[in-house]
Structure 1
Amino acid sequence: MDKDTAKKAVMAAVDALAPELKEISLFLHQNPELGGKEYQAAGLLMKAARRRGFTVTQNISGYETAFIAASGSGGPKIAFLAEYDALPELGHACGHNLIAAMSWGAAAAFAAVAGDRAVSLLIGCPAEETSGAKVAMAADGVFDGLAAALIVHPADTNCLGGTSYATHPLQVTFGGQSAHVAAKTNKGINALDALVLFYQGIKTLRQTFTQETILAGIITQGGTAPNIVPDKAEARFTVRALSSDYLEETMLPAIKRLAAGIALATGTTVETVHYEPLFKELLNNRHLMGLFRQNMNRLGETVIELAPDEADGSTDVGNVSHAAPTIHPDLGIGPSLAAHTPEFATAAGSDHAQERLLIGAKAMAMTAIDLLD
């Protein structure tokens, strides 16, 4: 079977799967689950995969709701990444219900057409919104040896390229000595004063970085009562850069040096802890981007290509992209949508979005066909 015929076959296979894909998407939308607790979502996807002959392995990299479903025995290994966690109170305001359905549709259609000419993998990736299971999965080698890792994200328009911010959030805790503010002899050591100095110093430090960065934070603990000198003060900071190397080798050491210097000057102690793992920047593969664009055009879709350094948010797909050729394009499901809003959640459950997910599934499956020998 030539590639043109194979592409027609995967398009037809996705169309045949349409009722199942819409059912999966809407079930997830109506039953949102938080990261690491996506038991219904993972169970539904694994059941669908087993029903079509995929071999399923559960409990990956310490996540009960992570899985790998595989079909085929030879040729290139193509992974379709499924996300399915929701947001607190907002539900599927990032459209992961659509991502899960699209990736399963692409994996199933590709497996049906490619047979043993390739290995089709549906990789279930929990907790993208929080701890980012793909971080641990990438470290464990789950994505090593892949010819491609594909995922499509719903958005307000079709986009391709760009990047994401590398991020490694930091918690800073100063320790002092408590005392009553009216004490005549023991004045204590004010941990909040140290933290305020650090917070102010961050504003100056931010100006010294030579690459595009994001550095912002909030004070999460500043004392227990106004008449007691705080012996503990804590803040959390989002620390982001367009390069994980710059983030890890320049930004974070400078921030930690600032904290240590202020602790020394104020007689306090300081502890810095990363409360979330390192999400690396997204490296979109140029070759895969070109193939995906051609296939979207074949489906009658136009695609906006973003500049390589254009970033909007962070994702653990970045860690995948450092281990395997990866693309993470956007698929438009409605105009003027912003992720993580009630409006996006509504759009992700709309009839229009359920039709659009078929486009994403077809484009990924067709791109996988292009990678066959």
Structure 2
Amino acid sequence: MHLDPVVTPPHRSVFDHMLTVPTPALVYDVDNAMRSVGRMLDDVSLVSGARLNVALKSCHTPAVLRHLADAGLGADCASVRELDLAVSVGFDELSATGPSFSDEGALDRLAERGVVLDATSIDQLELIGRTRSGSDVGLRLRLPIPETLDTANSFGANSRFGVGATDPAVHAVLVRHRLRVTRLHLHTGQLSPHLFLWELRYTLTVAESMSHVELIDFGGGFYDFYADRAVARRALQTADELLAQWRARTGRPMAIRFEPGAAVLGPHGYLVTTVQSIEQAHPAYGAEVVQVDTSAWNYAPWHLPAAVPLDEPERQPKSARLVSGNTLYENDFFGMTGRAGRPLIDMAAVSVGERLVLTNAGAYTMTNRRDFNLLGNLREYLIVDDALRPVDTEMAATR
């Protein structure tokens, strides 16, 4: 069976559209994003009772989110304002987890929408118990990932979030307040197919001891999951078999959810910039520094982009260069992602005044934004049906 990769290259017309926008700008290729979403939905459908949602923390642009809601995705929310955004956009399934749900008012808002909170700590669980004794609750679990499956991109026992499934203090709160655990929520960073199957077996074992659990949310991490789509599909088929066996053995229902953010939108967003200056050989860095008219510090602290000359995307030869932002912050370099050293990007030579496209900007760009130096917001555009639409225009068309 031939399988298209989940992400395919953009059409040449996408680059033509980007030649027409004022810089700096963020352009979402919605057409290609929806092709990728369709492939993910096809794969997730291999598991009975599975569904694809989106981590709303990855994108707060309603004009983009409406396309995901229309495709049948749900949304996971990390704050009350994200919950309100998800409702306004029209997502038909909502979930919630995060330490920001820390007062009775936040719990009231969730209850109004029928959303069960997946508690991230014992104190948050205690708050739910004190204010809503006898209610349903979810648990975000901190997992003891085996050393053979743990990587630099995964978070198990070292996660800042979650509780231990066997922690007596957790069970004491559940018993004291008569709370029913109906959901188990995981997010261990990047999720390989092997790690996913280990997590499924682990959480199904946990669920057997909690008689009300009916859903397991595996979070995101689909970049690693889709390193090989065929391997990912085999893992999903195995998951379907494991779930069928569990349901038959226990006589209980069980559904699963995935909630990627970066993998849904990241590859389909483009940061369009103009080169403002070039230092040919920085005396300390030992590399050419290409400075553009937007900021990695303000918009792209987590991104690992490719850098492409817009008028000639296939230009050769390439060599290692630094791409810097336009703030007065010493470490304003694209590709930092927490690194101590300056990140070299393999790219072709460019000239001052030329347009440069930085890829992988479709997620965690506007949601990470700062306004350091008061440089202002990026303009946002969508490509829908091969037409370029400013976000304001797209919003008006969907009202």
Rg larger in structure:
1
Tell me the TM-score range normalised by the shorter chain.
Answer: under 0.3
Q: Which has the higher contact order (CA 8 A, sep 6+)?
A: 1
Determine which structure has the larger helix proportion and give its number: 1
Q: Give the TM-score taking structure 2 as reference length.
A: 0.26
